[in-house]
Chains A and B, each alone.
Chain A
Amino acid sequence: MDTSDVNILIVDDEESVRSSLYKWFIEDGYTVDTAADAKEALQKLEKQPWDIILLDIKMPGMNGLELQERIRDIDPTIVIIMITAYASVDTAVQALKAGAFDYVTKPFDPDDLEHLIRNAIEKRKLTRENLQLKQKISQLSPEETIIAESPQMKHVLELVDTVAQTDSTVLIHGESGTGKEVIARTIHNRSRRRLFPMIAVNCGALPESLLESELFGHEKGAFTGAQYRRKGKIELADGGTLFLDEIGDISPKTQLDLLRVLETKQFTRLGGNQIIRSDFRLICATNKNLEEEVRKGNFREDLFYRINVFFILIPPLRERREDIPALAHFFVQKYSRAMNKPIHDISPEAMKRLMEHNWPGNVRELENAIERAMVIGKPPVIQPQDLPFAQVLPFDPATMDSDSLEAIEKAHISAVLARTHWNIKRSAEILDIDRVTLYNKIKKYNLQKP
């Protein structure tokens, strides 16, 4: 909607009301004019058509109610909003009966005023699609980059594309650091809701009472310290996407409250009874096995079925090592730009380390490792010693019991185990022996997991 196509006339005898309302609407891009009394208003009504008129009830000379009658005679389709002080709410009710669209009481809550005008415009059916604007916005939210060299991630991307076209609820499962929010954002950006925001809430980070206020908002006085009304994330997500991260961590009470919202798409703010509707698409993420949590009685089964409509599993980085080089190069370029530092590559030895590392912290750990290497490394390439886990030497001669072949084998195996964080499968691969052999050697040399 282009607000400049909406003509608003403000009729009020008080200069400060006229000027501040005028400014408010100008800043919102409306075409607006003012009149100090009924006479001036009627003159301006003759000159051009108006969409919305804000009318002060109490004015010297012809008052607002009489003027309203005259306006209705001139153009009954104009939306009239009455402005009143506390004392004259009765008069406002009278005005409504006479056909005014609504009334506002001075001073207005900025949000109420905004909603009122929006509703008034809707009434005039002035909303229309603005293709140019849509194009502008889609250029604005560049796609988050998902690196997908491995077949597993290519499959994830296919799922993302499929589900983005629908409005169905999505559950994303993945270890921490696998980039669940990036996946959620990609779904949002590729969906028809991309013109509205995606609102993210990390449910694991907040205690129950704060999380409830965060999600549902609260009314003034809902609890100690709640001096003012606060909008919740569910309300803010109206039209867009609500992303609930770490959904497995929410308390039984919040689970129940959330279930109700999902069933009815409506809710009340904490301490309030006004019913609020919000049209949002839900994407949840978790690093827990929710089915297991349901079995253990920690997670409601009915809520689980509601959120588990479309399931996406992001595999851990160690199970898709093909993605490591592309991801690493992506982060090198990212930090090279951000730090303005001419490191643009990774040496083959450093890359070998990256490929061998077990990445318990997944993509985030990889990003942190590259960021750190970019800080301490010297141009033009990242070397193994720049990596945080590079201190592990193949083996340290000083710790060897003797120069015997067995001593060397023991030191070498323990070094490889340290490097892979005791990932037996990975270590066996590096050592090129089978896992049973590796277990036997661990036992033989009495190696201990740190």
Chain B
Amino acid sequence: MRNTLYIVPVHHPRLENLELLKQALSEVFSLHVEFLNLELDIEAVFNIRRHQYHSTEILAYLLDRMPDDTERILAVTDLDLYIPILTFVFGEAQLRGRAAVVSCHRLKNEFYGIPADNDILMDRLIKEAVHELGHTYGLIHCTNYACVMHASTYVEEIDIKDYHFCPACQALLAGTEPRQP
């Protein structure tokens, strides 16, 4: 039976933040949430020229190793992520799939030269995790700026939106058919 959302820490030192994330995700998705250690070899997804880590390869790794009872699997990392055509991504997900990854790297105030603030970081991390998991349920970007599925290319845009799905996205989410194996 697939019923567990696994959170996989990948090079992520702040465990107390993951605990908060776990609570938030179990509330938003009404799923059983567990931590899972996969000991991903980060060197294997490192791009030496860009000094960044390839998020799509992380997704492939998760899909390879996920337990049988996985409903969804989410990697959380401090690494700076990229996909080949973009300078960076905050995260990536399989659209209508099972795996997603989010990075705190560019969600941190200190990355932009302003004082660190863990509350703001947590706020952004939860929103991005919910957003990417929303993609795994087939949701696409929403034009409602307050909806968690609104696309954010700047960290300040994440701050504008909410943790929650707007009613339209919530309805789509609720209507999601169980994914065929």
Contacts and interface: CB of A to CB of B under 8 A. Distances in A.
Interface of A: 1, 14, 16-17, 20-21, 23-24, 26-29, 106-111, 113-114, 133, 136-137, 139-141, 196-197, 199, 210, 213, 218, 223-228, 230-231, 233, 236
A86 to B, nearest CB: 12
Contacts of B40: none
B160 A228 contact: no
Contact of B154 (A21, A28, A111): A111
B113 A225 contact: yes
13 contacts: A16-B85, A17-B84, A21-B85, A27-B140, A107-B50, A108-B86, A137-B144, A141-B146, A199-B160, A223-B113, A225-B110, A226-B113, A227-B113
Contacts of A230: 112-113, 154-156
Q: Which secondary structure dominates chain B's binding surface?
A: loop
Given A16-B84, A20-B84, A114 B113 contact: no
B95 A236 contact: no
B160 A20 contact: no
B138 to A, nearest CB: 10
Contacts of B154: 111, 230-231
Contact of B85 (A20, A114, A140, A224): A20
Given A136-B168, A227-B111, A107 B84 contact: yes
Contacts of B151: 27-28, 114
A140 B84 contact: no
Nearest to A221: B113
Contact of A140 (B111, B146, B155): B146
A218 B143 CA distance: 26
Candidate in B82, B135, B153 with the most chain A CB atoms within 10 angstroms = B153
Interface in B101-144: 106, 110-115, 135, 140-141, 143-144
A-B residue pairs, 8 tightest by C-beta: A225-B113, A226-B113, A111-B153, A110-B153, A29-B140, A16-B84, A20-B83, A231-B154
A136 B167 contact: yes
B164 to A, nearest CB: 10
Nearest to B140: A29
B66 interface: no
B63 interface: no
Contacts of B146: 140-141, 197
Contacts of A14: 84
A109 B106 CA distance: 14
A140 B140 contact: no
Given A133-B143, A140-B166, A228-B111, A108 B87 contact: yes
Contacts of A139: 167
A139 B166 CA distance: 10
A292 to B, nearest CB: 33
B87 A107 contact: yes
B61 interface: no
A14 B88 CA distance: 19
A191 B141 CA distance: 25
B113 A109 contact: no
Contacts of A231: 154, 156-157
B127 to A, nearest CB: 15
A108 B85 CA distance: 6
B145 interface: yes
A213 B114 contact: yes
B24 interface: no
Interface in B28-87: 50, 56, 82-87
B56 A20 contact: yes
Contacts of B144: 136-137, 140
Nearest to A137: B144
Given A27-B95, A28-B141, A28-B151, A17 B113 contact: no
Nearest to B50: A107
B173 interface: no
A315 to B, nearest CB: 31
